[in-house]
Chains A and B, each alone.
Chain A
């Protein structure tokens, strides 16, 4: 009663007709695909879709964070300090100063200071273009200057766990420099090379040309580094943001992932011209910080 020979099967003529029709249909179907490469493509497309979705969610979270941090900066400024505390360019500070005393929350959403607020905390640990420039002089209208910066290639060694997993990519604008930060999980730092490369920009592995805005292209090459955790069976992405970021600053136009192939992850920064840059590493969490002169 509980195996294939139960009464509903048997010699039932309907069952025979159904069986015949289903098999005739299925036998006539010849799938065009079946190559795992197609699956890989579909998975990549799915990943890109989810990244876009996560990016939108991230924008909401980032906006909230900016509000909070911006509010803190303004609050501390109102307590005891003067505009040096804000660490932003004088132009923006003067324009927002009169209103900031009366209604701080609103001014944080409007002005440029909020976008640079999170990165100013980082700048104090390594290099100090933002903290030194504003109090002393008016922003330079002369050639771009960045302490320690040059257009020469730079590179550094790997350290920590292996391979490094990319978790975040951020940009920020400051008075003397604009900044790109790549963050890695678990204190890992991949070996890195940062250098200007000539177009066309080609996606590593696939060999397809990638469009990047700008006329000069600063390539950030990290190895061994992935943006996916291959130790997990389904290799979930560790970096959920978009693979194309609008730089939002004068000195870098766009930031584009151009490869994640055989443990080499590359991003390219599109710049209007070959401006001097510096590269620093920070720990806790480990970050690769690239500053470009503006």
Chain B
């Protein structure tokens, strides 16, 4: 009965992959410069989901689960880079844009992006999910596994911090 089944991946995770891979890479790219690293982060998230099994997660929760895994992966990348910068104040060669990197954003947009990346973890996650994914409060709450009210607090604080920071830059 199951001879024809493909040996490696059950179709459900493949479908998820086909549907969400690109948008999840873009999500990671909001936090991490290097696109290849972003792809790795997303790949890891899918592998972890596969290993864990899709069983215990409701189907509707799967995209949120993946988003959260990608945000977590991106966060540890960010942190690693911050540590590297602190240990070696000299310009980090990996932060220079690779030849095939995404087009440069221009100083203004880059400043905003850098400021978002510098936010505390939760505020950054909320800001990204809200202003890039256009997720509603409930969806953000579900993704990050926090209360809806907390989402609002993080969003407001994040936005305030960004406003202050960007004002300083002017």
Contact = CB atoms under 8 A, between A and B. Distances in A.
A32 B21 CA distance: 11
Contacts of A26: 26-27, 29-30, 132
Contacts of A18: 112, 116, 127, 131, 159, 162
User: What band does the interface of chain B fall in when counting residues whose beta carbon is under 8 Å from A?
Assistant: 35 or more
Contacts of A23: 132
A183 interface: no
Nearest to A28: B102
Interface in A16-74: 17-26, 28-34, 36, 38-40, 42-44, 46, 50
Chain B binding site: helix, strand, loop or mixed by DSSP?
Answer: helix
Interface string A114-145: 00000000000000000000000000000000
Contact of B18 (A17, A21, A36, A234): A36
B156 A8 contact: yes
Contact of A263 (B3, B102, B130, B131): B3
B43 A38 contact: yes
A160 to B, nearest CB: 15
Contact of A22 (B4, B7, B52, B116): B116
Contacts of B116: 18, 21-22
A234 B53 contact: yes
A152 interface: no
Contact of B7 (A3, A36, A42, A226): A226
Which among B14, B21, B36, B44 has the greatest number of chain A C-beta atoms within 10 A?
B21
Given A14-B162, A25-B105, A38-B43, A230 B5 contact: yes
A59 B132 CA distance: 49
B71 interface: no
A163 B5 CA distance: 12
A92 interface: no
Contacts of A43: 8-9, 46-47, 50
B9 to A, nearest CB: 5
B98 interface: no
A42 B13 CA distance: 13
A58 B4 CA distance: 32
A144 B44 CA distance: 51
Interface of B: 2-5, 7-10, 12-14, 17-18, 21-22, 25-27, 29-30, 35-36, 38-39, 43-44, 46-47, 50-55, 102-103, 105, 108-110, 112-113, 116, 127-128, 130-132, 134, 136-137, 148, 152, 155-156, 159, 162-163, 166
5 contacts: A8-B155, A15-B159, A235-B8, A236-B53, A262-B3
